[in-house]
C-alpha cells in the first residue's frame, strides 16, 4: 500500500550533506516519487463527504478544495458544493460566483435543479463546483419556512446523481451548525473534520459530535464521522505535536496519517483563484494534500464496511 510517513526520516541527499533542510528536501522528493507511482481505480460508487467544523478558520475550505482537486488529479470525478455564503471554495476553484451567478441558493430556495448551476473548474476537467453567492447569507432564515427544509440539498443531489455520476461529492460548510450545515449532514454519509493543531483544537468538538448523533438519530442514520485531518501543523512547536497526539488518542481510526503543514503556498493559492494543487503541486502543502487524498480514496472499502 502506498504511503510515506512524514515522520520517517529520508536518507541524506546524494552529496552526503546531512542537515535538517537537506533531509527535508530528500524526504519531500521521496514522497513526490511515491505519489507519482500511485494509481487508483474508482468504482463508480459515490462517496459524499461534508467538511464541517463549527469553529471558524480551521481549514475547512482549504481542505475541501485541495482534497477535491487532488482526487480529481487521481482520476475521480469530483463535485464540490460550496455551502458557505462567503463563497471561498468557489473562489479557490476559479468559478464565477457574483450576485447574478445561478448558485446553490437557487437550488435550496428556488427549486432550481443542481445540474443547472454546476460549473466545471478551469483547474481540471474532472473537477466541478456548485457555487455559492452572497444570496446564501439569507438562506439560513429563508429555509426555516420551506417544506422539507432539512432535506433540500439531499433531494437536489440525489436528482443530480441519477443523471450525472460523480465519484466524490465534497460539501464545504460554513462555520456554524445552522440549517445549511444540517442540509449538508442530511445529504452526506461521511463527516470530514479538519482540526487545526492549536490550543483550542478540541474545544467545541463535543458539540459537533453531539449534532452528528442527533442527525443520525432523526434525519440520516447513514451519517458517521469517517475522517479527521490535522491542518496547519507547525512541527517546530511542542504544542502542535501535543494536540496531534491528543486528537489521535481520541479518534484512533478516523485521523489520517498525513498531516497538513502550515505553508505560505497553501494560503497564497486562493488569491490566484486556484487550489495549491494547481498553483504549486510540488510544494510541501500540495504534496501533503495529495497524500491525504490518496489515504481517503484507499479507505473507501473500510468506510463502506462500517
Contacting residue, 26, 28, 58, 215, with ligand ATP by CB under 6 A: 58
All 3 cell numbers of residue 291?
A: 497524500
> What 3-state DSSP class applies to 264?
helix
DSSP class of 168:
E
H or E segment and range at residue 266: helix 264-268
For residue 29, the partner it binds in Mg ion, ligand ATP, none, with Cβ less than 5 to 8 A by kind, is none
For residue 76, the partner it binds in Mg ion, ligand ATP, none, with Cβ less than 5 to 8 A by kind, is none
Contacting residue, 6, 50, 52, 61, with ligand ATP by CB under 6 A: 61
All 3 cell numbers of residue 270?
A: 486562493
Give least dist CB 163 to Mg ion, A. Answer: 29
Binding mask 174-193 for ligand ATP (x = CB under 6 A): -x------------------
Give least dist CB 62 to Mg ion, A. Answer: 8
> What 3-state DSSP class applies to 228?
strand
Is 284 a binding residue for ligand ATP by CB under 6 A? The answer is no
Contacting residue, 11, 12, 57, 165, with ligand ATP by CB under 6 A: 57
User: Looking at beta carbons only, is 74 or 187 nearer to Mg ion?
Assistant: 187
Give least dist CB 25 to ligand ATP, A. Answer: 19
> What 3-state DSSP class applies to 143?
helix
Is 232 a binding residue for ligand ATP by CB under 6 A? The answer is yes
User: Looking at beta carbons only, is 64 or 223 nearer to Mg ion?
Assistant: 64
Residues 6 or more apart whose Cβ sits within 8 Å of residue 110: none
User: Looking at beta carbons only, is 153 or 160 nearer to ligand ATP?
Assistant: 153
d(CA 87, CA 95): 10
Whole-number Cα distances in Å, 259 to 87, 105, 121, 225: 25, 33, 26, 18
Is 258 a binding residue for ligand ATP by CB under 6 A? The answer is no
Residue nearest to Mg ion (CB): 61
Phi-psi region at 230: left, alpha or beta (left = phi > 0; alpha = psi -120 to 50) = beta
What does the H/E/C string look like for 172-219? ECCCCCCHHHHHHHHHCCEEEEEEECCCCCCCCHHHHHHHHHHHHHHC
For residue 232, the partner it binds in Mg ion, ligand ATP, none, with Cβ less than 5 to 8 A by kind, is ligand ATP
Q: Which of residues 68-107 bind ligand ATP (CB under 6 A)?
A: 84, 86, 88
Residues that bind ligand ATP (CB under 6 A): 56-62, 84, 86, 88, 175, 231-232, 260, 262-263, 266-267, 285
Amino acid at each position: 500500500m502506498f504511503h510515506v510517513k512524514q515522520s520517517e526520516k529520508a536518507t541524506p541527499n546524494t552529496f552526503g550533506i546531512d542537515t535538517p533542510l537537506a533531509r527535508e528536501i530528500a524526504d519531500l522528493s521521496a514522497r513526490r516519487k511515491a505519489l507519482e507511482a500511485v494509481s487508483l481505480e474508482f468504482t463508480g460508487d459515490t462517496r459524499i463527504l461534508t467538511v464541517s467544523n463549527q469553529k471558524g478558520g480551521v481549514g475547512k475550505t482549504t481542505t475541501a478544495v485541495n482534497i477535491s482537486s487532488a482526487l480529481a488529479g487521481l482520476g475521480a470525478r469530483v463535485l464540490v458544493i460550496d455551502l458557505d455564503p462567503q463563497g471561498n471554495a468557489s473562489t479557490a476553484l476559479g468559478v464565477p460566483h457574483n450576485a447574478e451567478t445561478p448558485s446553490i441558493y437557487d437550488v435550496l430556495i428556488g427549486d432550481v435543479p443542481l445540474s443547472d448551476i454546476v460549473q466545471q473548474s478551469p483547474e481540471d476537467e474532472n473537477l466541478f463546483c456548485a457555487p455559492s453567492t452572497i444570496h446564501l447569507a439569507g438562506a439560513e432564515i429563508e429555509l426555516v419556512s420551506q417544506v422539507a427544509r432539512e432535506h433540500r440539498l439531499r433531494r437536489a443531489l440525489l436528482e443530480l446523481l441519477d443523471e450525472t455520476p460523480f465519484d466524490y461529492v465534497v460539501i464545504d460548510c460554513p462555520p456554524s451548525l445552522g440549517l445549511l450545515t444540517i442540509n449538508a449532514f442530511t445529504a452526506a454519509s461521511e463527516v470530514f473534520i479538519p482540526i487545526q493543531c492549536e490550543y483550542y483544537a478540541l474545544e467545541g468538538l463535543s458539540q459537533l459530535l453531539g449534532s452528528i448523533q442527533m442527525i443520525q438519530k432523526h434525519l440520516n442514520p447513514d451519517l458517521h464521522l469517517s475522517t479527521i485531518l490535522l491542518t496547519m501543523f507547525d512541527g517546530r512547536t511542542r504544542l502542535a505535536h501535543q494536540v496531534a497526539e491528543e486528537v489521535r488518542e481520541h479518534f484512533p481510526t478516523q485521523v489520517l496519517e498525513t498531516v497538513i503543514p502550515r505553508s505560505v503556498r497553501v494560503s497564497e493559492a486562493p488569491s490566484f483563484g486556484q487550489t495549491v494543487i494547481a498553483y504549486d503541486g510540488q510544494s510541501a502543502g500540495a504534496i501533503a494534500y495529495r497524500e491525504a487524498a490518496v489515504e481517503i480514496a484507499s479507505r473507501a472499502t473500510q468506510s463502506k464496511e462500517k
